[in-house]
Amino acid sequence: MAKSLDDLLNEGVAGRTVLVRSDLNVPLDGSTVTDDGRVRASLPVIQKLSDAGARVIVTAHLGRPKGEPNPKYSIAPAAAKLAELSDLDVVTATDVTGPDAQAKAAALTDGQVLVVENVRFDARETSKVEEERTELAKELAALTGSNGAFVGDAFGAVHRKHASVYDVAKILPAYLGDLVKTEVDVLTKVISNPERPFIVVMGGSKVSDKLAVIENLIGKADKLLIGGGMVFTFLKAQGYSIGGSLVEDDQVETVKGYLEKAPAEGTEIVLPTDVVYAAEFKADAKNEVRPVEDIEGGELGASGMGLDIGPDSAKSFAEEISAAKTIFWNGPVGVFEMEAFAGGTKAVAEALANGSGMSVIGGGDSAAAVRTLGFSDDQFGHISTGGGASLEFIEGKDLPGVSVIG
């Protein structure tokens, strides 16, 4: 069984330097953090260690800077947000393990927090070559001195074999952070022992991104509610004409297989009965509600595209969610960033917020959607901080950043 943060705190951390892999991968508008959810989620573990007298070094990534320094992806705005949301004494380094990080790590005092620069500024972080990752991991570990420890608390990165997530845990005494432990506990309950009815809402643009998830949920979930761009591959598999809607033709046969297999294994796949069909992918595009059996029969003909589930579908999805005891949601069911096509996603979020069942939002775009649409995190049972990691867990895959500590 993996050692936890509590185990580390019980051993004593006063005066010790603890390296924490956090998830500060926040969206930025210039240098402004537009959604601080991940910073807030990372704060409790850092605060606990600081309060216990540890000298805390935080490493994290932001965006995809392609293995070299890029000011656009500096971790500095996220570090500033960390300081703003707490009373922590936060200092930042201008490099990952270089002279500035080394000097500031050596100068840390008890309770102080050092955030080193975006770890993905170093190409070794994501290298496929183990020796290269190990080299960086050793440099990160060296920042902690002779009696260091490592806390893995970045659920959004635990599905990656990266130096700061995986390799460093093989060098330093390693512990599972509270955020990761909670994520694993919640998702384990959802998959292994859900209170029923267990409903899964799947959205997003591509069915290919969710194939393994759907495969693993057939026979586990009572109902799979499908929305988003991926729904048009399902509708095409049923023989419907879908105009110019997003479709993955190479997945149609696979989806047909799911539609045949699911009922036999006790899972009902629920598709929309109507869609919001638009002239083009624009916020002010002309649009109309069309029944799925006659999408091309309206004014827009075959030239339109579906950008949301329709109002009847939104209502029926909400009713299914309201009756469920456990709900896992991953992926918006429409283009929620555009008001005209946000109705379906808003209906799903409202049903989750108002329902009595255990609701789990699987991170990524779903988490962004509920915040963009004005909902607060505490209206839901659990919002995952890791879209990709939560999906891979639901698929049944190993999460290297967790198993290396276990």
**Is 23 known as a binding-site position?**
yes
The verdict on whether residue 217 carries a ligand-binding annotation is no
The residue from 364, 386, 387, 401 that is catalytic is 364
- The SS3 call for residue 328 is strand
Residue that is written with structure tokens 């276990």 in the block: 406
124 is in an annotated binding site: no
**Is position 331 annotated in a ligand binding site?**
no
Is 160 marked as a binding-site residue? yes
**Total Cβ atoms within 10 A of residue 14:** 10
Consult the annotation and say whether 290 binds a ligand: no
**Pairwise CA distance, residues 283 & 261, whole Å:** 38
124 in catalytic set: no
Of the candidates 16, 21, 37, 38, the residue annotated as catalytic is 38
Residues 6+ apart with CB under 8 A from 38: 23, 24, 25, 26, 156, 385
Which amino acid, 387? G
Active-site entry in 53, 67, 381, 388: 388
CA 359 to centroid of chain Cα atoms? 15
What is the C-alpha to C-alpha distance for residues 31 and 48, in angstroms, rounded to an integer? Answer: 27
Residue 152 catalytic? no
64 is in an annotated binding site: yes
Residue 388 annotated as catalytic: yes
Q: 293 and 324 in contact (C-beta within 8 Å)?
A: no
| 374 CB burial (10 A radius; 0-12, 13-18, 19+) | exposed
> Is 61 part of any known ligand binding site?
yes
Cα–Cα distances in Å, from 213 out to 43, 197, 210?
A: 30, 18, 5
| Cβ-Cβ contacts under 8 Å for 183 (sequence gap 6 or more) | 155, 384, 385, 386, 389, 390
Q: Is 219 labeled as ligand-binding?
A: no
On whether 16 is known to bind a ligand per the annotation, the reply is: no
What is the 3-class SS of 112-167, one letter each residue? CEEECCCHHHCHHHHCCCHHHHHHHHHHHHHCCHHHCEEEECCHHHCCCCCCCCCH
| Residue 306 is assigned to a ligand binding site | yes
Taking the C-alpha atoms of residue 252 and residue 339, their distance in angstroms, rounded to an integer, is 30
Pairing of β 28-29 and β 32-33 = antiparallel
Pairing between strand 274-278 and 287-291?
antiparallel
Is residue 38 part of the annotated active site? The answer reads yes
Has 62 been labeled as part of a binding site?
A: yes
Residue 63 is assigned to a ligand binding site: yes
Q: How many CB atoms lie within 10 A of CB 62?
A: 25
Residue among 40, 138, 161, 206 flagged as catalytic: 206
Give the residue ranges of the annotated binding site for ATP. Answer: 210, 306, 337, 363-366
Give the residue ranges of the annotated binding site for substrate. Answer: 23-25, 38, 61-64, 120, 160
Give the residue ranges of the annotated binding site for (2R)-3-phosphoglycerate. Answer: 38, 120, 160
Give the residue ranges of the annotated binding site. Answer: 23-25, 38, 61-64, 120, 160, 210, 306, 337, 363-366
Catalytic residue numbers read: 38, 206, 364, 388
